[in-house]
Chains A and B, each alone.
Chain A
Amino acid sequence: MTDGESAPTDAIGFLTVVEHDEQGLIGAYLILNSSGRPLEFHCTAPVKPTRTQQILFGPTLDSYLIGEQIGQTLLASASAQPLALCTDVERGLLVREYTTLPLALVIPPAAPSSPEAVAPADQTWRMDVSHGSSTPLSVFEVGRNRLAVPGGRTEDQELLAARLQGVLALDLCEPFGRIRDAIAEANHSVRT
């Protein structure tokens, strides 16, 4: 394998966080060209917050771990600059605080339309207001894909609609399956 000479201008970034019962959080970032081919892949070592961190960061823990630690680190690792970012977990939207790129939550086609129910991976029930999504999500469609941005980021909606024109035929949910397979492959490789 050789490094690419230059980053294409039509790349899209796919960022996700996978929660593993034993290992903790694993962040992964896949950059694809407009044909859906992989250009770069970055994944973090598992991150498991300590009890102290859980207590001291409290509700800011997700923002710290996913946004600042995982998201910011992954974005900094990439050499290609994509046009836009996508995530498949609502908590992934926390990364938006650390990047200038528009970031969309990709809603699976079968998911209910209610924005409140778009985070299947997040099983935590909160009795207070989540810091990561203190405002409701704004759902919109680009091509065949349903996307959402935090209500306070409506400017991203326009940016995403414009920047994703080149990938209208792509299923933006599909790359996240590849990412999970890649994480499983990497885990398997480490174990063997």
Chain B
Amino acid sequence: MAASGLTSQSRAASLHSGTNRPAAIGAKNMISWRPSCEVQLTQFACESVAPDLRLSWVGALACPPLTNSLRLAHGSTPKSLSLSIKPASLRVSSFRFPHPGSWFEALRAPLGGHAAVGDPRSLDRPAGATKTRISPPPHVIKLEERLFYVLQPALESVLGDASLAMPFRPFPYQLDGVAFLYPRAAAILADEMGLGKTMQAITAVRLLLRSGELGRVLFVCPKPLVSNWQREFAAWAPEIPIAVVEGEPAKRRWLWQQTDTPVKFANYELVQRDRELTAELGLEFDLVVLDEAQRIKNRSNTTSQAVRALKRKRSWALTGTPVENSSQDLVGIFEFLAPGHLCDTMKPRGMGRAAAEFVLRRTKEKVLSDLPPKVVRDAEVELGSQQRASYQLAEKEGVLRLTELGDSITIQHVFELILRLKQICNFDPASGESSKLERLVADLDEVAASGRKAIVFSQWVGTLETLSDRLRHLRPLVYHGQVKPQHREAVLEQFRQEQDRSVLLLSYGAGGVGLNLQIASYVFLFDRWWNPAVEDQAINRAHRIGAAGPVTVTRFLTAHTIEERIDQILREKREVFDAIFSDVEPQANLGLTQHEIFGLFQLRCPSGPVALPASVPTSGEASVMPAQ
């Protein structure tokens, strides 16, 4: 500051307002003593001031000028320098942000107040710990919008509000997920199953609704999971009114038009069925969230088209398996999120880079140090003699038939043989012999004896029914697509609650997604699915947050059979996934080619690439492959 640099020997500013008055100005008046628009500099001397006072600006100004040093020759004027101070004009940038919606304002009054310090609901991290802040994503260009996100409070503070009570304290990685979703117009939350994608999506929607950024949200999910979402919403956002669009056409029309429920749910089939209706009504959503978004990976299917036709401002996709078979799956999902951002010709690593800004993917190993371990063991069993004979015969005849087809052979013909052989690997159709079953029975007896619970997956209803019969001493419960929807929840409740119901037989399709079965300590994959992602989904019904102890996964594999060859393909698919979602370099050309599929039987492929049909059989109940 200027004051500290001035002494009585320096030039002091004499501030004029008509007359010279510096000597009359005391320190007390200085705060309101401002320079006028014009000043003159005059030299003062201050010999009589004590040395300590000379150091200060105040002291300098407090000194009367020595008049003899200012005496001027008659008729002459002192030299002066005029400085003008322009009135400052300060530019201010102003930003104003949206207020919460009216329905939320109505909620606030009765719920007002905050969690007190020390309240167990308080989410504050310990002092010094990093808090979870929302960062604007790169695609948000407008400074006003970027600042809106930058200026949001830490999530721990927001969620500590008493009116935002949560049933459980979220994990830090879950708050990171909420902060990821919150500002994004297009996003994939691709956390591994069991990490709480549902809770993260609900919380992000809840905060956006309360901040007034959203007013109309549509969740689209598989039909069996609608009730699960309702339960989760009741737990994580109990104050948010929700509605499920269902029922007769007139009722659905009415539900679609309802404006007093900011969140609506619809299943994929219904969205497809009501495509024209939603268009006719001119519905536009602030946000559409797709659960199990791998359902739209095939761009040409009608479900994908119907979902993409929904008018919306934001698009989020939830899936633990954004890539089930090939990188084209991800392209399909991006057609919903950001059409054209990815294309089929991209290489996996390039696609990974292009998608990175939109995708948040965490694995349990990365974020859950306290999740019980998952022990995976491959149970390789040899076919029994009768089973082996049936297998060899079927393979020999099947391959012969395929060979005879010559150039008219199709991929469908190959899949039919694969399915036939896989079924024989489970049970010999002639004798009923099953090496897998023998091993399974032994294991399940042990599970039951130890008071634990197990779930068993198969892709066929027929296999599950056979297992149910052969395991009847264990009174297994069965859950698959042919179980009536109204009975399904009761089956799951029995498994969870009744101590003597230790075995649950599940199909991959009906039981592979969305169910919380942490009570099970053991998972058996009686037969293998077509891609590892679906198998992971199945395994994670048990190995997820809330699991009380280690989960042991047993993957059955019959040696020297088609299962062994498929297993090799599954391993390669996993490498494709890693190539996109990690920095791992692809080891080779990992796409499944038609040549490789035909190669399962040492057959010559006609020509051209083909994708393995991941949607086959989509529900786990189909026993034939759809045409490709």
**Which A residues have a C-beta under 8 Å from some C-beta of B?**
1-6, 8, 30, 32, 35-45, 47, 52-61, 63-64, 69-70, 73-74, 77-79, 109, 124, 126-129, 131, 134, 143-144, 167-171, 174-175, 178-179, 181-182, 185-186, 189
Tell whether, in the assembled complex, residue B147 and residue A185 are in contact, meaning their CB atoms are under 8 Å apart: yes
Q: Indicate if B58 sits at the interface (CB-CB under 8 A).
A: yes
15 A-B residue pairs with Cβ-Cβ distance under 8 Å, sorted by A, are A1-B97, A4-B98, A44-B92, A44-B93, A56-B35, A58-B13, A69-B88, A109-B127, A128-B3, A128-B27, A128-B57, A169-B117, A185-B143, A185-B146, A185-B147
Q: Which residue of B lies closest to A185 (CB)?
A: B150
Tell whether, in the assembled complex, residue A1 and residue B56 are in contact, meaning their CB atoms are under 8 Å apart: no
* A44 touching B91 in the complex, CB below 8 Å, given contacts A58-B1, A60-B30, A174-B154: yes
**Bound Cα distance from A29 to B361, whole angstroms:** 37
Tell whether, in the assembled complex, residue B93 and residue A42 are in contact, meaning their CB atoms are under 8 Å apart: yes
Q: Indicate if B250 sits at the interface (CB-CB under 8 A).
A: no
- Chain A hits for B30, CB < 8 A: 58-60, 131
**Bound Cα distance from A45 to B147, whole angstroms:** 16
B208 to chain A, nearest CB (A): 12
Q: A1-B145, A58-B2 are in contact. List 4 more A-B contacts (CB 8 A).
A: A1-B95, A70-B90, A167-B114, A185-B143
Tell whether, in the assembled complex, residue A43 and residue B83 are in contact, meaning their CB atoms are under 8 Å apart: no
- Chain B hits for A4, CB < 8 A: 96-99
Range class of the B interface residue count:
35 or more
**Bound Cα distance from A39 to B95, whole angstroms:** 8
Binds A, one of B157-165, B227-235, B319-327: B157-165
- Chain B hits for A63, CB < 8 A: 31
Q: Which residue of A lies closest to B83 (CB)?
A: A52
What 1/0 mask marks residues of chain B from 494 to 512 whose CB sits below 8 Å from any chain A CB? Answer: 0000000000000000000
Q: 5 closest pairs, A vs B, by CB?
A: A169-B114, A36-B153, A38-B151, A45-B91, A4-B99
**Bound Cα distance from A54 to B13, whole angstroms:** 11
**Bound Cα distance from A146 to B605, whole angstroms:** 78
What 1/0 mask marks residues of chain B from 21 to 47 whose CB sits below 8 Å from any chain A CB? Answer: 000000100110111000100000000
Contact with B1, one of A40, A59, A170 (Cβ below 8 angstroms):
A59
Which of B58, B59, B147 has the most chain A CB within a 10 Å cutoff? B147
- Chain B hits for A189, CB < 8 A: 143, 146
Q: Indicate if B144 sits at the interface (CB-CB under 8 A).
A: yes
Tell whether, in the assembled complex, residue B56 and residue A170 are in contact, meaning their CB atoms are under 8 Å apart: no
The number of inter-chain residue pairs (CB within 8 angstroms) is 167
Tell whether, in the assembled complex, residue A60 and residue B99 are in contact, meaning their CB atoms are under 8 Å apart: no
**Bound Cα distance from A128 to B7, whole angstroms:** 13
- Chain A hits for B114, CB < 8 A: 35, 167-170
Tell whether, in the assembled complex, residue A42 and residue B56 are in contact, meaning their CB atoms are under 8 Å apart: no
- Chain B hits for A39, CB < 8 A: 96-97, 99
B373 to chain A, nearest CB (A): 38
**Bound Cα distance from A171 to B100, whole angstroms:** 22
What 1/0 mask marks residues of chain B from 575 to 595 whose CB sits below 8 Å from any chain A CB? Answer: 000000000000000000000
* A57 touching B34 in the complex, CB below 8 Å, given contacts A1-B96, A40-B95, A69-B90: yes
- Chain B hits for A2, CB < 8 A: 98
B112 to chain A, nearest CB (A): 8
- Chain B hits for A5, CB < 8 A: 99
- Chain B hits for A40, CB < 8 A: 94-97
- Chain A hits for B143, CB < 8 A: 185-186, 189
* A178 touching B97 in the complex, CB below 8 Å, given contacts A58-B3, A59-B30, A60-B33: no
* A47 touching B90 in the complex, CB below 8 Å, given contacts A37-B153, A39-B96: yes
Tell whether, in the assembled complex, residue A42 and residue B35 are in contact, meaning their CB atoms are under 8 Å apart: no
What 1/0 mask marks residues of chain B from 84 to 114 whose CB sits below 8 Å from any chain A CB? Answer: 0100101111111111100000000000001
Q: Which residue of A lies closest to B99 (CB)?
A: A4
* A38 touching B152 in the complex, CB below 8 Å, given contacts A1-B98, A185-B143: yes
- Chain B hits for A1, CB < 8 A: 95-98, 142, 144-145, 148
Contact with A128, one of B56, B83, B145 (Cβ below 8 angstroms):
B56
Tell whether, in the assembled complex, residue A30 and residue B90 are in contact, meaning their CB atoms are under 8 Å apart: no
Tell whether, in the assembled complex, residue A30 and residue B151 are in contact, meaning their CB atoms are under 8 Å apart: yes
B125 to chain A, nearest CB (A): 12
Which of A3, A42, A127 has the most chain B CB within a 10 Å cutoff? A127
- Chain B hits for A129, CB < 8 A: 27, 58
- Chain B hits for A73, CB < 8 A: 90, 92
* A42 touching B94 in the complex, CB below 8 Å, given contacts A1-B148, A57-B35, A109-B127: yes
- Chain B hits for A127, CB < 8 A: 4, 55-56
Contact with B2, one of A44, A55, A74, A186 (Cβ below 8 angstroms):
A55
B145 to chain A, nearest CB (A): 6
Contact with A41, one of B15, B58, B151 (Cβ below 8 angstroms):
B151
Which of A56, A58, A167 has the most chain B CB within a 10 Å cutoff? A58
**Bound Cα distance from A167 to B162, whole angstroms:** 12
Q: Which residue of A lies closest to B57 (CB)?
A: A58
- Chain A hits for B4, CB < 8 A: 126-127
What 1/0 mask marks residues of chain B from 124 to 158 whose CB sits below 8 Å from any chain A CB? Answer: 00010000010010000011111110111110011
Contact with B95, one of A42, A58, A179 (Cβ below 8 angstroms):
A42
- Chain A hits for B343, CB < 8 A: none
